[in-house]
């Protein structure tokens, strides 16, 4: 029996010395010290020994068991530390390596110009009112004094959803929506920014573009208020040297109506290629609210008057940044977008 025990100890020593992973080490433990393990069976079979042999072999078997447990424990410690070193080597971070560049996004030039325009009007006491891009024919045309078959509808070729609904062609429907939503005695001073859609597509016309509508309604509002408001805006936006010119024009929802030009940014009004030699650049449409529009919106045109204007944001951005093709705003070319 002594010989068997010595052999077992040697065999265990060799196996523990060769094992390279923790699962295999556990299998060895089970094979020797588990419920049916070789050492466990020897201990169990001690009852078969004679009374003289039992204490001698009992002591030796306990020593063998203790030595096996120590061997397994030490190897487990050794393997665990070896494995965690290996893992650390694989996963470690080299803090001396240069970092990955972190790209910061920036605002689109149209967003920047929109915000700049909004800030100027907010400073003058206007508030922002936003509305739907999918609009009822009623608000986009009918309530703005353009009934079905009115020739002025042709000026804004539209994308229709069905016979009563379309993608709005301008932000003017918000004039009616805002007036309708509040008590007629209350004065209005709003700007309404947003996307609009038309069947247009060339270097100065995009099928989707942005407009900002303005509306002021109150007792005693005059054309002079309109001109003063726009002049203040233009000087804030393009500099104190800019002047404006109002030319008579026709929009069915204002009377009188005007096209507003600014003195050319490029030649300062002398006449150049940018302004086609005229010295002026057109930027928006404006006028005094038509009495019929005030009326359908619930306001009494005998008691109040109003002015309205609508400007194209891309047009203003093109002038401000000297961009000559509107499509550049929407091609997502970072070489352009990074500059603002």
Helices of type H across 239-275: none
Distances (CA, A) of 181 to 27, 74, 177, 293, 329: 80, 83, 6, 14, 35
d(CA 292, CA 60): 114
Best CA proximity match to 190, nearest among 215, 170, 157: 215
Rounded distance between C-alpha atoms, residue 194 and residue 93, angstroms: 48
Q: Which stretch binds ligand FA5 (CB under 6 A): 28-36, 112-120, 206-214, 268-276?
A: 206-214
Regarding 173 and contact with ligand FA5 (CB under 6 A), the answer is no
Q: Shortest distance, CB of residue 104 to ligand FA5, whole angstroms? A: 29
Under rule CB under 6 A, residue 172 binds ligand FA5: yes
> What whole-number distance in Å separates Cα of residue 212 and Cα of residue 166?
19
- Tell which one of 312, 317, 319, 329 touches ligand FA5 (CB under 6 A): 312
Among 229, 279, 314, 319, binds ligand FA5 (CB under 6 A): 314
x/- mask, ligand FA5, residues 253-272, rule CB under 6 A, reads: -x--x---------------
Nearer to ligand FA5, 19 or 142 (CB): 142
Rounded CA-CA distance 125/133 in Å is 25
189 near 126, Cβ under 8 Å?
A: yes
To ligand FA5, the closest distance from the beta carbon of 171 in angstroms equals 7
Q: Residue 94 CB, nearest distance to ligand FA5 (Å)?
A: 52
Q: Of the two residues 83 and 127, which places its CB atom closer to ligand FA5 in the complex?
A: 127
246 touches ligand FA5 (CB under 6 A): no
Q: How far is the CB of 294 from ligand FA5 (least distance, A)?
A: 13
**Is residue 225 near ligand FA5 by the rule CB under 6 A?**
no
Per DSSP, which regions of the chain are E strands?
127-128, 134-136, 159-162, 165-167, 188-197, 208-218, 244-249, 254-263, 280-289, 305-312
Kindly tell me which residue out of 205, 235, 245, 327 binds ligand FA5, with binding defined by CB under 6 A. Answer: 205
Binding site for ligand FA5 (CB under 6 A): 156, 170, 172, 198, 200, 205-206, 209, 211, 251, 254, 257, 282, 284-287, 308-312, 314-315, 326
């Amino acid at each position: 029996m002594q010989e068997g025990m010595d052999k077992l100890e040697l065999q265990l020593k060799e196996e523990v010395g060769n094992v390279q992973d923790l699962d295999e080490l556990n299998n060895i433990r089970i094979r020797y010290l588990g419920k049916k393990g070789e050492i466990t069976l020897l201990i169990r079979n001690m009852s078969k020994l004679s009374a003289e042999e039992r204490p001698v072999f009992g002591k030796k078997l306990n020593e063998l068991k203790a030595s096996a447990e120590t061997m397994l424990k030490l190897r487990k410690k050794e393997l665990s530390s070896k494995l965690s070193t290996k893992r650390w080597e694989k996963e470690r971070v080299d803090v001396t390596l240069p970092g990955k560049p972190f790209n910061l996004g920036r605002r689109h030039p149209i967003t920047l110009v929109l915000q700049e325009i909004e800030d100027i009007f907010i400073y003058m006491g206007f508030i922002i009112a936003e509305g739907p891009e999918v609009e009822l024919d009623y608000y986009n045309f009918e309530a703005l004094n353009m009934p079905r078959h009115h020739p002025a509808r042709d000026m804004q070729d539209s994308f229709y959803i069905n016979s009563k609904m379309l993608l709005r062609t301008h932000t003017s429907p918000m004039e009616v929506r805002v007036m309708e939503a509040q008590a007629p005695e209350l004065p209005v001073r709003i700007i309404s920014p947003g996307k609009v859609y038309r069947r247009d597509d060339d270097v100065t016309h995009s099928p989707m573009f942005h407009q900002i509508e303005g509306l002021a309604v109150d007792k005693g509002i005059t054309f002079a208020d309109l001109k003063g408001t726009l002049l203040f805006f233009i000087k804030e936006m393009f500099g104190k040297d800019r002047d404006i010119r109002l030319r008579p024009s026709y929009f069915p929802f204002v009377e009188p109506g005007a096209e507003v030009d600014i003195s050319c940014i490029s030649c300062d009004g002398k006449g150049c290629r940018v302004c086609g030699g005229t010295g002026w650049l057109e930027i928006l449409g404006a006028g005094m609210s038509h009495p019929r529009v005030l009326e359908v919106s619930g306001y009494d045109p005998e008691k109040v008057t109003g002015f309205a204007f609508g400007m194209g944001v891309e047009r203003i951005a093109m002038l401000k940044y000297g961009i000559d093709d509107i499509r550049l705003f929407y091609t997502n070319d970072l070489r352009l977008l990074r500059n603002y």
